[in-house]
Each structure stands twice: as C-alpha cells, then as structure tokens.
Amino acid sequence: MNIRDKVAVIGVGCSKFGENYDMSAEDMIVAAASEAYADARIEPSQIQAAWVGTLSSAMAGNALADPLKLFNIPITRVENYCASGMDAFRNACMAVAAGMYDVVLALGFEKLRDSGQRGLGTFGTHPVIGYGTTAPSLFAMAANRYFATYGIDKRALAKVAVKNHHNGTMSPKAHFQMEVTEEQVLSAPLICSPLGLFDCCPTTDGAAAVIVCRADIAKSFRPDPLLVKGIGLAVTSGEPYLKPGFAYTGFPATAQAAQSAYEQAGMTVKDIDLVECHDCFTITEILNYEDLGLCKKGEGWRYVEEGRASIGGEIPVNPSGGLKSFGHPIGATGIRMIYEVAQHLWNKAGARQVKNAEVGLAHNLGGPGSIGCVTILASS
C-alpha cells in the first residue's frame, strides 16, 4: 500500500519557540492546536483521534487530552528520539490512509528550559565503550572525521550557522532572531571540539500541531490542502559508534528514510523545492545535504559555500533558520518542520518565502544518528 495522495494536511499551528518561562507545556499545546484548528477551519469536536510526540512527558495520551479537552477519543503518545513529532505525524497519516478516521491531530511539544533536562542526555549502554557519549561529542567526532576525510575546516560549519541565523531573523516564532558573522562563529567558546557555541542548536520550549484528513474530503475544509506524497522512517543501530564500519561521514538512517519517501512519492530529489532538515549541529546539516541526495558525498560543504542552500539557491535548506534558530524542543521539532514547509507551499512564509514552492521535504535525525524520518508534501 502506498500512502501517496491518500492523506492531506489542512491546518498547521506553532507556538513561539524560546525560553517560554511564562508558559506551561499545556499553554504551548493549546496555542499550537488552536492555531491549527483555525487554519483548518474545524472545531475541536471534529478530531476523531490524536497522536502526541514528546520525549520527556510521562503523561501518555493525557498530555493532549487534558489541556485540549479531547476526551473519549484514541490518543497515542509517540517517542522516537528527535523524530518523535514527525513519527506522531506519520502514525496519524497511516491511520487516516487505512480508513480508520477522517480527521485527526498530530502534535509535538517539549518544555526543556526550566525542566532541568537539556536534551537527550547520554547515549550508549555498553559499560566501557561509548559510555557517557553525548550528542555534542558524537557529532564532534563526525565533524573531525569529515574534516580529515575531505580536507576542510571549521569555516565550512560557520557558513551553515551564518545562513541559518540570517534566515531566523525572518521567522517571527524562532528562538533566536539574530545575525551572526563568520568570525563570531569561529571565535565562539568550544562546546566539544571542533563544535563551538554557534555550531549547536539551543535548548528550547515549544509546540507544533498539524491537522490531517482524508484527501478526498480535504477541499471541504479549505481550497488548497497539501497532499502527503511519502513518509519514510528508518531505524539503524542505537550505538553506531560501536560498529567497525561506521564512517561518521553520514547517517544511513537518513539515506534510507529519504529513499523510501522518494519511492513512495514517485519523485527524485530534483523535484524538491525546499528542505527543512535536522541541523542539531552545523556539521549535521552538511551531512544531511549528502544523505538526502542534494549533492554527492564529500560535497556538502560546497553546497552551502556556493549558496546553493540559501533562499534563492538551488534547493534552499532551512529557510526557517532550522534548529539553529528555532531550537530543538525534541517532540515539537518534526511537526514544526512540517509547519514551515506548509507555510512555503501556501505562500505564507513572508520575507523567507521560497518562490514558486510546490514540493517540500522535512527531515528528522533521531538520537545518535540512528533514526531517520523524511516527509514529502506537495501542493494539491
């Protein structure tokens, strides 16, 4: 069974991302869902089922049921590392495509700034090898290996940070809305060499929501629904750094998820007009260019240096400013990417609008690079 053209996106919503000390998790959930309801022109009573992506909440389906008063319907919590939100969306789409429901909600959220939690924590269960490995240390190893393999240095990473911070200045809901210079990036304090402060996404609060329905009824809600063309999910080893053949110059989960999504959509990367990808670190975005097929292996640094990833470039990447500007409230990120793609396909992205965008791709990379999720949306 192919999901292509069976499911439509009819509404999206997003809270402000940032240090939302004046908002509870429930406040952000309500803000995102309310915007999505209004965008879809529906009432909450029309939601027949829901999926919620979150890493930190132990509330299961009640994380949505109570703040949104969505009682007596199926609500499922999804947790899949950094891909939790997009996987919640994936499950919602599959349920609609299977004919179980007509109209459903997928929502992701995280409240990290005042939780005491700073993200995923440590990876690895091996008692000696890889013990205590963190996200910055893992991606720092990837950066160092990439530098050694392709003969480049931190200036390539700095160009990603400069681009994404610039794009973030045009995103009213982004955590950071400030320009940075290449010199600022290169001289910033080190977090885990060679990654400095501006190479890492911030710890952030936020929520995002999307309303999904059967494609054949979508135009009864709005005249311009977006069609889900494909959703790929791939899970590889949770300890890739223990595998002798792991090169650190790419993540197979991304490549496999992308291939699945392209095949479902009947498309190639040449059909894509913009990409929102998982730039948890600047090196990650460069590797994503290659794993998603935007360029050949070893040429990701050229893709950003030559301006091909910029708004107005060959295939713009992270016109929102990405995780670098929005931050990474883990459960919210994947749906926030779908929110951003929808803004461009509906020509509502303002100053950051990618011209004539008709097909957009959203990509999550989860945990230690072990989970890849890719969604392709298109104007109907």
- How far is Cα 63 from Cα 84, in angstroms, rounded to an integer? 14
Given the residues 328, 344, 363, 373, select the one marked as catalytic: 328
Q: Where are the strands (E) in 48-124, listed by range? A: 49-53, 75-78, 103-110, 122-123
Phi, psi angle pair for 83, to nearest 5°: -95, 15
- Give every CB contact of residue 326 below 8 A, 6+ residues apart in sequence: 17, 168, 171, 173, 174, 175, 176, 201, 204, 206, 320, 333, 336
Q: Which amino acid, 311?
A: I
The catalytically annotated residue of 14, 82, 277, 280 is 82
- Determine the Cα–Cα distance for residues 13 and 218; give it in Å rounded to an integer: 17
> DSSP class of residue 332?
H
Query: Active-site residue 82, yes or no?
Result: yes
- CA–CA distance, 9 with 280 (Å, rounded to integer): 26
Please report, for residues 165, 168, 275, 321, 329, the alpha-carbon distance to residue 161 in angstroms, rounded to integers and kept in the order given: 6, 10, 16, 9, 19
Residue 214 burial by CB count (10 A; 0-12/13-18/19+): exposed, middle or buried?
middle
Question: Which candidate, 175, 224, 208, 213, places its Cα nearest to that of 13?
Answer: 208
Alpha-carbon distances of 29 from 111, 174, 210, 328, rounded to whole Å: 10, 17, 12, 16
- Annotated active-site residue 126? The verdict is no
Tell me which residue of 298, 297, 322, 299 sits closest to 310, measured CA to CA: 322
Q: State which amino acid sits at residue 83.
A: A
The string of DSSP letters for 7-54 reads EEEEEEEEPPPB--TTS-HHHHHHHHHHHHHHHHT--GGG--EEEEE-
168, amino acid identity: G
| φ/ψ (deg, to 5) at 337 | -65, -40
List of residues 6+ apart from 172 with CB closer than 8 A: none
Residues with a catalytic annotation lie at 82, 328
